């Protein structure tokens, strides 16, 4: 249980897992670069004690390692797992009453509770431009809040029961926002706050929103936890922290009495302003688009507050810790939410939504040759449910084919599927559909396609471990590299347009179709830099699945269409080159990078200053 963000940081410090930075740092790129370099070293949480142009401290990297996530939530994770077990199967209360009855007091004590102001609770005020103006990447459109807890209420139920808390990024400065008067909110209409927004647009009520920053770590986590329908984020925050969420209403706005900062204001209805660009978790910039904004009412803060932030970037990054914690809590709930599914994994190295792995069970056809049947029904369920509906590529396989398959080992999982994939049967497309708003591989904002690769049964091929191509690849292709058994990266000239790509790839297919052992290379990836793609599994996963739109960028040797089903005999080809419509890759400022690097070298201000226990 932590009473505050500072309480957590002091506990980490006591356990050799906090680095204090006592000298002044610039929130424009420098703080983010310090964070990235410490995160890459699996370093400790960070407390920035002096920030240029701000009187406040700031903290980051609390969730930088799985061990630290386990430590921060060491008491609460087992209790939350028990609550999930009860939800999954209420009969466990009868079978093991002494184990599970201890969760009932937790549920009762976690009901949100009204409190009162005290000398430490939000009795001070500031302006937006006095907050730490953290800019993480050179092309960011301004300063952003990266760990906000955005609170809104249903206009038909103006209380905590009709509330939603989500983590929607907040732009504090830049673009067309009036300084200290307006801030941007990035959210989609299907999210909880978006549903509220649509209702307010049809009413005369002001759309009051509160943005909490800081507070106990459980509060930030509650804003991103995919909760069951009807379960309050406020209740979950209290349960995860073993302490009720304390709040107060003032001027019609919700104030979290445990937050370090609360920004209140009214969302402007039926009007949008440009928001972005912003360096995002896929490893690219999300570009400038019109999004809602709000008129700022007041900015509250407690005494000696701490601004909580993270740096979003190509995964893995600190927010990967959130995914790890979600998995720890809900892993036993998967069979209940997705009947027949043994396990499911959003692949962090691909930015989560572009690539999903799943293992299911073919249960009802035991007397004929194994083939994907029931797992296709499960795939439809996955792609039609909540956050997993954002998946662009879903690879799903039958549990019986290898009961020991590790879904968290991408190389092993790909090899298992590639040994079994029958490309004339096992790939299924969903075209002209929605994809993640932050994924620019499609042909428009939030628009693209999906592919399901479903495999079952015994292996049908051996995977090659060496490249045995004879002759020279047709131009503009060159430098084939082995990525892993069965997967080859081939370098191509920069992508121009789809018409020329089709012509170029047709020549490549003609070449490949004459190879005798092509079946042992079931997946070929076209890319801008084959050495980079083949360097490690993370590069392969990231570049292949963030830079391709299945309906546009998948080809195959000996391809054909049978009764409207596309398939191929031979190799599947994915064109993962960067396209002209793709967003720019995140790249740090070299001068800032070098400056921060010197902090950690001999004679630098941070040289030898940290080791970490968690």
Mean pLDDT of the residues in the chain: 90
pLDDT in tens, 384-441: 987 888 899 999 999 999 999 999 999 999 999 999 999 999 999 999 998 888 899 9
Between CA 439 and CA 447 the distance in angstroms is 9
Share of the chain above pLDDT 70, in %: 91
116-130, 179-193, 317-331, 441-455: which is most confident: 441-455
DSSP type of residue 128:
G
Distance CA 43, CA 36 (A): 10
Q: Which two tokens stand for residue 534?
A: 């083949």
Provide the 3-class DSSP secondary structure of residue 398: strand
Cα pseudo-dihedral 285, 288, 289, 293, rounded to 10: 110
Pairing between strand 447-455 and 182-185? unpaired
pLDDT band at 96 (very low <50, low <70, confident <90, very high): low
Report pLDDT for 7.
Answer: 97
Cβ proximity of 185 and 273 under 8 Å = no
Supply the pLDDT for residue 457: 93
Between CA 352 and CA 44 the distance in angstroms is: 24
Q: How would residue 236 be classed by pLDDT, with cut points 50, 70 and 90?
A: confident
Which position has the higher pLDDT, 258 or 76? 258
Task: Look at residue 364 and tell me whether its pLDDT is greater than 80.
Answer: no
- DSSP string across 319-337: THHHHHHHHHHHGGGHHHH
Write down the H helix ranges in 128-180. Answer: none
For 50, the 3-state DSSP assignment is strand
Query: What confidence score (pLDDT) does residue 225 get?
Result: 80
- Taking only the tens place, the pLDDT of each residue in 563-593 is 999 999 999 999 999 999 999 999 999 999 9
If 0-12 CB within 10 Å is exposed, 13-18 middle and 19+ buried, where does residue 91 land?
exposed
**Residue 352 DSSP class:** S
Give CA separation, 10 vs 5, 59, 261, 390, 502, in Å. 9, 12, 19, 38, 59
Query: pLDDT for 19-45, tens place per residue?
Result: 999 999 999 999 999 999 999 999 999
Q: Label residue 491 by pLDDT band (50, 70, 90).
A: very high
For residue 91, pLDDT over 60 is answered with no
Structure confidence at residue 213 (pLDDT): 98
Token digits for 599?
């902090």
**Burial per residue of 146-173, b for 16 or more beta-carbon CB atoms within 10 angstroms, e otherwise:** bbbbbbbbbbeeeebeebbbbbbbbbbb
CA distance 481 to 13: 46
Block residue for tokens 């209805």: 269
pLDDT (mean) for 51-71: 96
pLDDT band at 108 (very low <50, low <70, confident <90, very high): low
* Residue-level pLDDT at 104: 55
Which residue, 314, 188, 311, 208, is CA-closest to 251? 208
Q: Where are the beta strands (DSSP E) in 202-316?
A: 207-213, 246-250, 253-256, 261-267, 273-275, 278-279, 285-286, 289-291, 293-301, 306-308
Instruction: Over range 535-547, report the average pLDDT.
Output: 98
User: What whole-number percentage of the chain has pLDDT above 90?
Assistant: 72
Alpha carbons 319 and 561: distance in angstroms, whole number? 42
Q: Across residues 206-210, what is the average pLDDT?
A: 97
């Amino acid at each position: 249980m932590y009473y505050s963000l500072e309480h957590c940081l002091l506990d980490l410090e006591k356990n050799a897992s906090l680095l204090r930075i006592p000298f002044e740092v610039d929130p424009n790129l420098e703080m983010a670069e310090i964070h990235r370099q410490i995160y890459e070293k699996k370093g400790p949480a960070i407390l920035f004690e002096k920030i240029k142009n701000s009187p406040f401290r700031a903290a980051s990297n609390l969730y930088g390692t799985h061990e630290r996530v386990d430590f921060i939530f060491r008491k609460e994770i087992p209790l939350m797992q028990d609550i999930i077990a009860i939800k999954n199967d209420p009969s466990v209360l009868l079978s093991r009453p002494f184990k599970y009855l201890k969760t009932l007091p937790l549920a009762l004590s976690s009901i949100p509770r009204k409190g009162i102001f005290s000398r430490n609770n939000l009795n001070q005020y500031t302006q937006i431009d006095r907050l730490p103006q953290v800019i993480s990447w050179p092309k960011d459109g301004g300063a952003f809040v990266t760990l906000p807890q955005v609170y809104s209420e249903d206009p038909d139920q103006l209380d905590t029961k009709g509330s939603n808390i989500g983590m929607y990024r907040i732009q504090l400065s830049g673009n067309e926002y009036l300084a200290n008067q307006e801030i941007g909110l990035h959210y989609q209409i299907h999210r909880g706050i978006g549903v509220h927004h649509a209702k307010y647009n049809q009413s005369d009520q002001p759309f009051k929103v509160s943005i909490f920053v800081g507070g106990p770590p459980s509060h930030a986590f509650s804003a991103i936890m995919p909760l069951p329908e009807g379960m309050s984020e406020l209740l979950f925050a209290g349960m995860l922290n073993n302490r009720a969420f304390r709040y107060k209403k003032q001027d019609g706005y919700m104030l979290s009495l445990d937050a370090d900062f609360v920004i209140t204001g009214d969302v402007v209805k039926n009007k949008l302003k440009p928001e972005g660009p912003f360096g995002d978790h896929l490893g690219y910039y999300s570009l400038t688009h019109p999004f809602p904004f709000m008129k700022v009412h007041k900015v509250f803060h407690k005494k000696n507050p701490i601004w909580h932030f993270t740096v979003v970037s190509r995964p893995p990054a600190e927010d990967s810790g959130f995914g790890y914690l979600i998995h720890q809590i809900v892993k036993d709930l998967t069979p209940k939410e997705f009947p027949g599914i043994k396990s499911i994994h959003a692949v962090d190295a691909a930015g989560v939504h572009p690539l999903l792995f799943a293992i299911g069970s073919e249960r009802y056809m035991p007397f004929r040759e194994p083939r994907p049947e029931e797992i296709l029904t499960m795939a439809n369920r996955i792609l039609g449910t909540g956050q997993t509906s954002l998946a662009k590529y879903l690879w799903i396989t039958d549990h019986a084919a290898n009961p020991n398959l590790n879904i968290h080992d991408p190389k092993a999982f790909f090899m298992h599927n590639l040994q079994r994939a029958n490309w004339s049967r096992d790939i299924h497309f969903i075209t002209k559909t929605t994809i993640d708003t932050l994924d620019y591989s499609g042909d428009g904002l939030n628009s693209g396609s999906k592919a399901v690769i479903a495999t079952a049964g015994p292996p049908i091929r051996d995977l090659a471990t060496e490249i045995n191509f004879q002759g020279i690849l047709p131009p503009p292709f060159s430098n084939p590299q082995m990525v892993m058994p069965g997967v080859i990266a081939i370098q191509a000239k920069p992508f121009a347009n789809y018409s020329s790509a089709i012509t170029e790839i047709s020549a490549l297919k003609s070449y490949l179709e004459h190879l005798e052992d092509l079946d042992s290379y079931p997946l070929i990836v076209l890319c801008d830099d084959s050495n980079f793609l083949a360097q490690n599994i993370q590069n392969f996963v990231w570049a292949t699945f963030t830079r391709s739109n299945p309906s546009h960028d998948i080809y195959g040797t000996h391809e054909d269409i049978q009764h409207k089903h596309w398939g191929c005999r031979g190799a599947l080809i994915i064109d993962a080159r960067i396209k002209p419509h793709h967003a720019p890759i995140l790249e740090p400022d070299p001068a800032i990078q070098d400056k921060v690097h010197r902090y950690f070298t001999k004679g630098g201000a941070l040289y030898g200053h940290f080791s970490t226990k968690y």
